[in-house]
A = this chain, B = another copy of it.
């Protein structure tokens, strides 16, 4: 259905109000009904694509028609990250006030490149990042900047490390030079793939990334790091950055930042802490001890869009000396010059992106609406639920815990006791399945639960073993949701 529209200009205001209310209602209903939906979308690949016209409409359509398609076409193709039984990857969810923040941000449509093009965004960003810094008990010499994702934050951190190495890479680059030693970046073998991608992007190559072995708790072994650096320095390489992680993606393990900081200080290497997932937990007093050593870092990334109920995207990079980032990236074309450039902060000076969304607003809403206490209580509850789930695993004869649970991620697997009569291949030990059978069982269990739409789990491999990951992080998660998953798991395993 096409409709008559004004020839130019935007939607008339009364129409904006009418559809706007309808969308608010739609979202309110969606949040209320979220548990009725399958967590993972049940559509087959290409089924949305095949239901959409191949060609754009010539004439504008009534927006009411578009809204109908939200129910008819889009909703079935949505994987519901806000569902309280989304336990895959890291369980992240928005809050209602986060949605409000994005409404204003879209309406203002500011590009916070220059202070003058968006004073509100520039100044609120400073203020709200300083609030968060205090909440995380980071020292006051840290200054923050908002990027879109942790991948981009970390890429900027490594770029700053490269800049501080004083090798004139900003101007001369790295190609066609015979005076440049191999630059090295260090992280644990459990690091997030974004570190590898950052090294690729920055022209360092995956080969520049040296992955340090971990102990049985999946934590970087500082002695191994020290040895690696010593070896590299002797070989004439140039270590520029070490990246310990607080809350690795596979297991949420915690690298020993304080011990790593000792080593970085000794060699003058940039220390970047990847706390993209667990950083939010630093606001909980009894979890503070995991962050020991962060106060000595050159930079630290944390993602409020992961575990602080802020809609995607909002990643924060705190730097001991943000001016290094400016040195690395500032480049002011004539058309961006302003008379106030020496007296105000222009966001564009701190990274590759020129335009920057007004992301601080939604985080300001979140912190004000929930308060420090409300946010702390929610993260604390998630950790309690994860510990509770881990205790069920430990108490069960049919499941086993695969990693410690410092935060709200449980790594575990089914490893049921079986009647010998049911075992097809020779069991490794009496009454147990073989390693391969255990892997197969767990993968099948996961796929079964995911396909049912009742919950979403993901996996990793630990010491070669297929391991289930259950992440607790939704703002809507309650104990009953974990009880449901536990029941599903036990039923699935019992069917084997």
Contact = CB atoms under 8 A, between A and B. Distances in A.
A138 to B, nearest CB: 13
B66 A354 contact: no
Interface string A87-125: 011001111111111111111111101011111100110
Contacts of A392: none
Nearest to A378: B8
A482 to B, nearest CB: 14
Interface stretch (A169-177, A288-296, A396-404, A418-426): A169-177
A23 B97 CA distance: 11
B173 A249 contact: no
A8 B203 CA distance: 45
Contacts of A340: 45
A49 B364 CA distance: 13
Interface stretch (A24-32, A217-225, A430-438): A24-32
Given A10-B31, A10-B96, 4 more contacts: A20-B27, A193-B332, A249-B335, A335-B460
Contact of A368 (B27, B60, B152): B60
A236 to B, nearest CB: 8
A108 B82 contact: yes
Nearest to A7: B377
Contacts of A194: 352, 354
Given A20-B27, A377-B8, A352 B201 contact: yes
A118 to B, nearest CB: 6
A205 B371 contact: no
Contact of A103 (B23, B57, B367): B23
Leading 7 A-B pairs by shortest Cβ distance:
A173-B205, A203-B203, A176-B182, A20-B24, A77-B120, A174-B174, A102-B106
A135 B15 CA distance: 27
A180 interface: yes
A442 to B, nearest CB: 13
A175 B204 contact: yes
A333 B103 contact: no
A485 to B, nearest CB: 18
Nearest to A235: B176
A250 B334 contact: yes
A15 B95 CA distance: 13
Interface string A433-461: 00000000000000100000000001111
Nearest to A19: B100
A420 B344 CA distance: 41
